[in-house]
Structure 1
Amino acid sequence: MAKDVSNPGKRETDMPETTHGGRVYRPLADIVETGDGVQLMLEMPGVSRDDLDVTLEKRVLTIRGKVHPTAPDKLDLVHAEYGEGDYERSFSMSQDFDPDKIEASLSNGILTLTLPRAEAAKPKKIAVRAA
């Protein structure tokens, strides 16, 4: 199973700042168990496919997304409730997953990662013979 290892117990406002002075947010995630493995869906509004970095190293799946700040043309911002910033989240992975078959897609600000189980980790059906 996937276990979240990115800054447990911290709020988005407690996250460290990046080298360019912006905030780093922990994207919200849904984890769904499927018949073949696990699917992770992370909210990453404002991140394009070219600004995504998904890596798996030593059983730690790390997702990073860069957001390019937007500013209204010819307007002075008086009040802001939407916080812009980059995204980062890590998950500790069990050995049940096949790292060569992980797939990722991005649509409408949602990053979907499909993590198929390794053949050795899939349940085996055992035939029962009559005695």
Structure 2
Amino acid sequence: MIAQELKIQEKKAVQPHGETTKTDTYFAPHVDIFETEQEVVVLADVPGVAPDGIDLSLEDNILTIQAHREPPNHLGQLILEEYETGHYMRRFTVAETIDQDKIEAALVNGVLKIRLPKVGPGQPKKIEVKIG
């Protein structure tokens, strides 16, 4: 990436903004990031999250992924549970080379795909010089 369209913040324990009175657990979803000449694509693993459980926002050039996984309905006595219920949160800094008005996202089989199209190169134009 020339100007680094998407800057990854160091992975660490995730904390929501501000102070909270809830004791909810937050996980940082694993991501894969791909780049082409036209766009940057982020694939985030959010297993068990329903489409209405995702909040994707962009504020002050920070792309925030938030998602909530509801507790599963068990069909019998639970013997082992390795998937914890909680929230997902991950933040990325988006460069000026991304067209923020055209960002798209889709959730398929527990994978959130975010497409961040790049701004096209400026087209040459003639600038009129006014007299007087």
Structure 1 length normalisation: TM-score? 0.77
* Equivalent residues in 2 for 1:88-99, closer than 5 Å: 88-99=89-100
2:6 equivalent in structure 1: 2
Q: CA deviation at 1:97?
A: 0.3
3-state SS of 1:50 partner: helix
Aligned Cα RMSD in Å? Answer: 2.4
1:87 equivalent in structure 2: 88
* Equivalent residues in 2 for 1:109-128, closer than 5 Å: 109-120=110-121
* Equivalent residues in 2 for 1:23-34, closer than 5 Å: 23-34=25-36
2:52 equivalent in structure 1: 50
Contact 2:14–2:89 (8 Å) recurs in 1: no
CA deviation vs aligned residue, 1:71-124 (integer Å, no higher than 9, x gap):
42441x344322222100000011000011101000000000000001247xx9
Q: CA deviation at 1:42?
A: 0.2
* CA spacing shift, 1:9–1:90, aligned 2, 3 Å: closer
* CA spacing shift, 1:47–1:91, aligned 2, 3 Å: same
Structure 2 length normalisation: TM-score? 0.77
Q: Give me the whole-angstrom Cα distance separating, in 2, the residues matched to 1:86 and 1:9.
A: 16
2:107 equivalent in structure 1: 106
Instruction: Give 5+ residue unaligned stretches, structure 1.
Output: 125-131
Q: CA deviation at 1:55?
A: 0.5
CA deviation vs aligned residue, 1:43-90 (integer Å, no higher than 9, x gap):
000111111111110100001001111242441x34432222210000
Q: Give me the whole-angstrom Cα distance separating, in 2, the residues matched to 1:35 and 1:55.
A: 24
Contact 2:14–2:90 (8 Å) recurs in 1: no
* CA spacing shift, 1:16–1:60, aligned 2, 3 Å: closer
Q: Give me the whole-angstrom Cα distance separating, in 2, the residues matched to 1:9 and 1:99.
A: 24
Q: CA deviation at 1:4?
A: 2.2
Q: What percentage of aligned pairs have identical amino acids?
A: 34
